[in-house]
Amino acid sequence: MRYPDGTEAHIGDRVELWEGNVGVVVFSIDADEYSEAYPKDQWKEFLGSGVMILSEKAGLIHYKEPEATMRLLSREQS
């Protein structure tokens, strides 16, 4: 999945989903990146594509396409 600005989503990205709600990408099926807490074998077959974001106000949210209001705030450096 890509954010509205065209940047590809990656695990560890800190994003604003909508005003007042920030979250972190915990896995990206599209980029084949998964955190230890959210392993590939538990999610890929079930969801198929997209990213999972753990948000402060709404918990886990699966996105196949970005919300128009979504924006990348910061990216973990590897």
CA 15 vs. chain centroid, Å, equals 8
Q: According to the model, what pLDDT value does residue 46 have? A: 86
CB 7 within 8 A of CB 22: no
Residue pointed to by tokens 């709404």: 58
C-alpha to C-alpha distance for 78 and 73, rounded to whole angstroms: 16
pLDDT digits (tens, 9 = 90+) for 19-70: 999 999 999 999 999 999 999 998 888 899 999 999 999 999 999 999 999 9
